[in-house]
Chain A
Amino acid sequence: MAKLADAVRNPALAGREFSAAGVKVAVLPPAHRISLRAPTQSVAALSKALGLTLPQKPKGSAAKGTRTALWLGPDEWLVMDDGAKDPLDACASVDALHSAVGISHRNVAFSVIGVGAANTISAGCPQDLSLGVFPVGACSRTVLGKAEIVLLRTAEDAFRVECWRSFSDYVYGFLTEAARDAAA
């Protein structure tokens, strides 16, 4: 039997982007993601395996190289890696109590960049996105319009927005429409 070609990956909305005055919304390429759950006593071992210190403060995140860990709840992190290494593999060797579940394909990510970035997200997100309350590196699961998102501030004028795959049409549509109004 001849070796069949590997299945082609079709990421949702691949390559789409939208620019308006002062803000650009772009669909980010696929990334490795895991949902990591663990009690406090396992954090050190998991941090070591992942190569970054898992944040333990609400809205906190930690980044090292291509890897980012987002605090989503008191025992929950979203660990993402834009590089080649799947954090799932790093966790597989950890004996300490935890649950690591691969969700690389569950989410679609967007970048929202520009002076109007915060305004764009504020069209549908009720959180206070001022730098004092939501500084660079802050992250949170929250809502955007009628969809749930995970929001990470990557720079003063830049955010990463993650949503579930089937909500990506809605979230992208919402962000682009909001971006039109964001320069005001």
Chain B
Amino acid sequence: MAEPFRISGTGRLTPARTARFTFDGKPYTGLVGDTLASALLANGVHLVGRSFKYHRPRGILSAGAEEPNALVEIARDAARKTPNVRATVQELYDGLTARSQNRWPSLSFDVGAINDVFSPFFSAGFYYKTFMWPKAAWKSLYEPNIRAAAGLGVSPDQPDPDHYASRYAHCEVLVLGGGASGIAAALAAAESGARVILADEQGEFGGALRFESGAKIEGQDGWAWAQAAVAKLAAMDNVRLLPRTTAFGYYAQNFVGLAERVTEHLSNPGHDLPRERLWQVRAKKVVIATGAIERHMVFADNDRPGVMLASAARSYLNHQGVAVGRNVGVYTANDSAYAAAIDLKKAGVSIATIVDLRDNPTGPLVDEARALGIEINHGRAVVKARGKLRVSSIVVQPKNGGAERTIPVDALITSSGWTPSVHMFSQSRGKVAFDQETRRFLPGAYAQDCVSVGACNGTDNLAAAVDEAYAAGSRLAKEAGGKAAKGSKPKVEAGENWTGGMLGSAPGAGADTTVKAFIDFQNDVTAKDIRQAVREGMRSIEHVKRFTTNGMATDQGKTSNVHGLAIAAEALGKEMPEVGLTTFRAPYTPVTFGSLINHSRGALFDPTRRTATHSWAEARGAVFEDVGQWKRAWYLPKAGEDMHAAVNRECVTVRKTAGLFDASTLGKIEVVGPDAAKFMELLYTNPWEKLESGRCRYGLMLREDGFIYDDGVVGRLAPDRFHVTTTTGGAARVMNHMEDYLQTEFPNLNVWLTSVSEQWAVVAVQGPKSRDIIAPLVEGIDLSDDAMPHMSVREGKICGVPTRLFRMSFSGERGFEVNVPADYGLAVWEALWAEGEKHGACAYGTEAMHVLRAEKGYIIVGQDTDGTVTMNDAGLDWAVGKKKTDFVGIRGMARPDLVAAGRKQIVGLKTKNPKTVLEEGAQIVGNPSQPKPMTMLGHVTSSYWSENCGRSIAMALLMDGRSRIGDTLFVPMQNETIEVEVCSPVFFDEKGGRLNG
């Protein structure tokens, strides 16, 4: 028979709209509008999972996001597998495939359930105490096995084929929760013209009106009113409705993270829609209308499948038309379970009994239950639930002890009262306060511009809640700049109202017992575990939480927190507020990584920056390296060449004829204004005032502490205009550093800085033939040595387009750097290449550039320096303007430690065996036979094979290095000790004659 537990004539779903699905391979049919949980229940399926630690059979506890048990895997295909989906939240769609988790070989027979038998060994703190020894076993034995056995669900093992979206949103009023209160607040705010966002985690708005059959608003059934009100909101331009959207995190200044599940409920989502959308909302005001969560009763074996919350049973009945059993028991300590019993009874479900812990419950609901002929066992407790894979009976006993009576049931619904959902309020850094009268935590002092309304604020009565919410929505919208609400507040004619209940363990699960009375189903924490934690010395609730794992992980204490707190308080002999409440943390419910990173995947993970000549190099088989976000040609191998061969050829060719190198990634800053030179004097160690227009200088920049920060060649284009270059990696921070000093230390200077890094593409043409290569293309610039000596800059034209032509060299050869507007970079490169080919020039990459500069002993800031190197250490004392009285770093470089003897200085190293290439980072010692740990004298900063020198070359930072030139030292490596001779860092053309060669 199809759907044996669907009761025709009840619920709001359309019987004809069926949806097929499978659970653990077995096919079932449900209705559109079902959740997976309601569809399973309609088919009589309660057993849906195994617990985390003990592998106990578990059923469906709730009908919402608080569900701790019914976590399943939903698989659309091999790549689209989502573990730990709450069956109570997952909307049914045709073709849905769900699987239970944490069981082997099957859900009904699970080998891991042996843990339940051995549960005395798995008590609170078990892992902390047991797997301590031997230490080595942790990594090799314990952890892998615990990891394999524990945990719920399995992560998908294929790349996620879905895409995710992101949206920043701004509004005057953000309403969290779309129940009666949230809708009322949204209506009031929206009527004032304010921008309103209303978010709710369910597929349809309405919240508890889904099951509250007694609610009447504006002459309608509560649910019908909710739908009408939402339709009204949907028609307003200033309202954004976000169903299936969970507010998962409340951050500073009303910044709230919302996760919208866009396609999770669709049978065929297609490829256009994102699977989820992350909303980052900045709201002027936030209305928290998150409602309350019903608590279960804590008694022995209260986790049997078929034991569930009373409100959940009522929701399944009144919304989806599903009975949770045929002979339902009720166990309660407050009135709300009566309402569920009455609804079930009226729908034709037999109510085996209502067991009420209260002595003499009274009131209309009690009377109505009696009138319907329901047996009420008051002053009694359920001390045990029987049945393994499904509850079969309950054992009832007077609450102070006495004769036991067993009552057969096929489901047991329980309620120990309602916990206001203060998660969002607490996340907003608001301080909860304990209300002695109703024994619950309610919003106290607010930290942000938000208001709690309705059940989450302890306003239990529906009419009062709607009033409070409407007033809040209206007031907040007005405060945020809206007008007064134009509408009128919804009139609540009837509503339900539950207070009271109990906290902690029920009779039969007290301190003198050893039964398993669960408080946190997801983490398998029992009342006994909490007491044990207290016995073992935990005093703070935060310690109890960590020791027992109560309320941890994804559950975040939705159903468990206050039960655990009450038991801990009792065991400590303290009042609950003295013990305190643990912190509620984001996320409220789990958020996928896909949603959090949204667009930042693949090519959009991080910007990939390419130069204007990238395509040219790519077409010639260049191998690129990442330099920050840039892709730079590393080397350009010819057919059959490996990296070594390519780099050797490039290095030799540059010194023999010439080479072309893309230097576009260097930072470039145009410094303009009458005080430009004065500013340069302050930011660089060098003197600039007397540098003539048209000339260049190697500039060295220190931090205030006296260490080298950056370097680069600077050209003076005019008395009031400098073209500054920086290292590639330093471009952004040097600009920031310069702006910082200009704006805050030297604000009176008339000078401005503009980044032109990307305005200019730069082709370095280096080598003895460099002038011959550029000459035919250049117009208006005299390239003769007399007219344009080394370290000069000219403005003119190349290939008919403007150029800033630098004569400079980072190779030690005669060289030019051709700056052209970036869009011309490729064409100018191609023209230069055509000229270069006539001379046998090559294109070379960053590796050859590094080797060539190392042959000349030129440092690279960030490679040969590490933020602790001074000008003197680097042998660059000549770059300081000796007469200057101020520049950044002038005082720092004079600090005692920076001028003391024994500092590490940059030197060259030659290996005794010229073929041996040192490893960069390798340490240098004086005596390789000394006992470990050896005294380390320095380390290798740069090391290469130099084809031009016919040997390996290296640079190093070495203690008192310059005084050790000629000494023999050692570089101990894992398999050998390498003998090196300390030398000058200039390995090639020591006199520098080739700059004009």
Q: How far is the CB of B903 from chain A (nearest CB, A)?
A: 39
Bound form: Cα–Cα A178–B755 in Å: 29
Q: Which one, B286-294, B363-371, B604-612, is touching chain A?
A: B604-612
Known: A99-B673, A101-B672, A106-B822. 17 other contacts (CB 8 A): A1-B776, A4-B800, A6-B799, A6-B800, A7-B824, A8-B824, A10-B612, A101-B670, A101-B754, A103-B754, A105-B760, A105-B822, A106-B758, A133-B170, A145-B599, A170-B604, A181-B273
Q: Which of B619-656 contact A (CB under 8 A)?
A: 629-630
Chain A window 130-157, contacts with chain B (Cβ cutoff 8 Å), 1 for yes, 0 for no: 1001000000000001110000000000
Q: Which of A29-45 contact B (CB under 8 A)?
A: 30, 35, 37, 39
Among candidates A9, A101, A125, residue contacting B168 with C-beta atoms closer than 8 Å = A125
Chain B window 803-842, contacts with chain A (Cβ cutoff 8 Å), 1 for yes, 0 for no: 0000000000000000011111111100100000000000
Instruction: State whether the Cβ of A166 lies closer than 8 Å to any Cβ in chain B.
Output: yes
Q: How far is the CB of A106 from chain B (nearest CB, A)?
A: 4
B630–A97 contact, CB under 8 A? Answer: no
For A171, the closest partner residue in chain B by CB is B607
Bound form: Cα–Cα A119–B755 in Å: 30
A166–B776 contact, CB under 8 A? Answer: no
Instruction: State whether the Cβ of B572 lies closer than 8 Å to any Cβ in chain A.
Output: no
Instruction: State whether the Cβ of A89 lies closer than 8 Å to any Cβ in chain B.
Output: no
Q: A106-B759, A125-B168 are in contact. Are A169 and B801 (CB under 8 A)?
A: no
B166–A124 contact, CB under 8 A? Answer: yes
Q: Which residues of B contact A37 (CB under 8 A)?
A: 672, 752, 754
Instruction: State whether the Cβ of B86 lies closer than 8 Å to any Cβ in chain A.
Output: no
For B260, the closest partner residue in chain A by CB is A184
Q: Which residues of B contact A5 (CB under 8 A)?
A: 799-800
A178–B823 contact, CB under 8 A? Answer: no
B607–A147 contact, CB under 8 A? Answer: yes
Among candidates A7, A30, A127, A170, residue contacting B801 with C-beta atoms closer than 8 Å = A7
Q: Which residues of B contact A122 (CB under 8 A)?
A: 167-169
Q: A103-B754, A128-B170 are in contact. Are A177 and B604 (CB under 8 A)?
A: yes
A4–B831 contact, CB under 8 A? Answer: yes
Q: A1-B776, A166-B610 are in contact. Are A7 and B828 (CB under 8 A)?
A: yes
Bound form: Cα–Cα A37–B753 in Å: 9
Instruction: State whether the Cβ of A167 lies closer than 8 Å to any Cβ in chain B.
Output: yes
Q: Which residues of B contact A164 (CB under 8 A)?
A: 757-758
B758–A165 contact, CB under 8 A? Answer: yes
Among candidates A7, A119, A169, A178, residue contacting B599 with C-beta atoms closer than 8 Å = A178
Instruction: State whether the Cβ of B517 lies closer than 8 Å to any Cβ in chain A.
Output: no
Q: Which residues of B contact A102 (CB under 8 A)?
A: 759
Q: How far is the CB of B763 from chain A (nearest CB, A)?
A: 11
Q: Which residues of B contact A125 (CB under 8 A)?
A: 168
Q: Which residues of A contact B277 (CB under 8 A)?
A: 181, 184
Q: A4-B831, A146-B600 are in contact. Are A119 and B801 (CB under 8 A)?
A: no
Bound form: Cα–Cα A176–B798 in Å: 37
Q: Which residues of A contact B262 (CB under 8 A)?
A: 184
Bound form: Cα–Cα A30–B750 in Å: 31
Q: How far is the CB of B654 from chain A (nearest CB, A)?
A: 24
Q: Which residues of A contact B755 (CB under 8 A)?
A: 106
Among candidates A8, A101, A147, residue contacting B827 with C-beta atoms closer than 8 Å = A8
- Pick the most buried of A11, A99, A103: most chain B CB atoms within 10 A of its CB: A99
Q: Which residues of B contact A63 (CB under 8 A)?
A: none
Among candidates B604, B801, B824, residue contacting A145 with C-beta atoms closer than 8 Å = B604
B821–A105 contact, CB under 8 A? Answer: yes
Instruction: State whether the Cβ of B195 lies closer than 8 Å to any Cβ in chain A.
Output: yes
B170–A130 contact, CB under 8 A? Answer: yes
B604–A12 contact, CB under 8 A? Answer: no
Instruction: State whether the Cβ of A18 lies closer than 8 Å to any Cβ in chain B.
Output: no
Among candidates B165, B600, B758, residue contacting A181 with C-beta atoms closer than 8 Å = B165
B604–A165 contact, CB under 8 A? Answer: no
B610–A101 contact, CB under 8 A? Answer: no
Q: A166-B611, A181-B274 are in contact. Are A7 and B168 (CB under 8 A)?
A: no
A103–B759 contact, CB under 8 A? Answer: yes
Q: How far is the CB of A87 from chain B (nearest CB, A)?
A: 14
Bound form: Cα–Cα A169–B629 in Å: 12
Instruction: State whether the Cβ of A123 lies closer than 8 Å to any Cβ in chain B.
Output: yes
Among candidates B273, B630, B756, residue contacting A106 with C-beta atoms closer than 8 Å = B756
For A104, the closest partner residue in chain B by CB is B821
A166–B609 contact, CB under 8 A? Answer: yes
B823–A105 contact, CB under 8 A? Answer: yes
Instruction: State whether the Cβ of B282 lies closer than 8 Å to any Cβ in chain A.
Output: yes
Bound form: Cα–Cα A90–B445 in Å: 60
Bound form: Cα–Cα A173–B608 in Å: 11
Q: A9-B827, A180-B272 are in contact. Are A173 and B603 (CB under 8 A)?
A: yes
- Pick the most buried of B165, B274, B604, B826: most chain A CB atoms within 10 A of its CB: B604
B607–A128 contact, CB under 8 A? Answer: no
Q: How far is the CB of A45 from chain B (nearest CB, A)?
A: 15
**Sample of 23 A–B contacts (CB below 8 Å):** A5-B800, A6-B799, A6-B801, A8-B824, A9-B824, A9-B827, A10-B824, A11-B823, A101-B756, A102-B759, A103-B759, A104-B759, A105-B822, A105-B823, A119-B167, A123-B599, A124-B599, A147-B607, A166-B611, A166-B630, A169-B608, A180-B272, A184-B262
A170–B608 contact, CB under 8 A? Answer: yes
For B609, the closest partner residue in chain A by CB is A166
A35–B754 contact, CB under 8 A? Answer: yes
Among candidates B603, B604, B759, B823, residue contacting A9 with C-beta atoms closer than 8 Å = B823
Instruction: State whether the Cβ of B777 lies closer than 8 Å to any Cβ in chain A.
Output: yes
Q: Which residues of B contact A10 (CB under 8 A)?
A: 612, 823-827
Instruction: State whether the Cβ of B280 lies closer than 8 Å to any Cβ in chain A.
Output: yes
B759–A7 contact, CB under 8 A? Answer: no
Q: How far is the CB of B839 from chain A (nearest CB, A)?
A: 17
Instruction: State whether the Cβ of B674 lies closer than 8 Å to any Cβ in chain A.
Output: yes
Instruction: State whether the Cβ of B163 lies closer than 8 Å to any Cβ in chain A.
Output: yes
A123–B759 contact, CB under 8 A? Answer: no
For B751, the closest partner residue in chain A by CB is A99
Instruction: State whether the Cβ of A51 lies closer than 8 Å to any Cβ in chain B.
Output: no
Q: Which of A82-104 contact B (CB under 8 A)?
A: 97, 99-104
Q: Which residues of A contact B824 (CB under 8 A)?
A: 7-10, 105
Bound form: Cα–Cα A126–B253 in Å: 14
Q: Which of B156-183 contact A (CB under 8 A)?
A: 163, 165-170
A177–B610 contact, CB under 8 A? Answer: no
Q: How far is the CB of A135 from chain B (nearest CB, A)?
A: 14
Q: How far is the CB of A147 from chain B (nearest CB, A)?
A: 5
Q: Which residues of A contact B801 (CB under 8 A)?
A: 6-7
For A181, the closest partner residue in chain B by CB is B165
A169–B610 contact, CB under 8 A? Answer: yes
A169–B607 contact, CB under 8 A? Answer: yes
Q: A174-B604, A178-B599 are in contact. Are A166 and B758 (CB under 8 A)?
A: yes
Q: Which residues of A contact B750 (CB under 8 A)?
A: 39, 97
Bound form: Cα–Cα A30–B823 in Å: 9
A105–B800 contact, CB under 8 A? Answer: no
For A39, the closest partner residue in chain B by CB is B750
Bound form: Cα–Cα A12–B825 in Å: 11
Q: Which residues of B contact A104 (CB under 8 A)?
A: 759, 821
Q: Which residues of A contact B756 (CB under 8 A)?
A: 101, 103, 106
Bound form: Cα–Cα A170–B825 in Å: 20
B604–A173 contact, CB under 8 A? Answer: yes
Q: Which residues of A contact B776 (CB under 8 A)?
A: 1, 4
Q: Which of B281-306 contact A (CB under 8 A)?
A: 282
The 5 lowest CB-CB distance pairs between A and B, nearest first, are: A6-B800, A166-B609, A7-B827, A37-B752, A170-B607
Q: Which residues of A contact B799 (CB under 8 A)?
A: 4-7
For B802, the closest partner residue in chain A by CB is A102
Q: Which residues of B contact A119 (CB under 8 A)?
A: 167
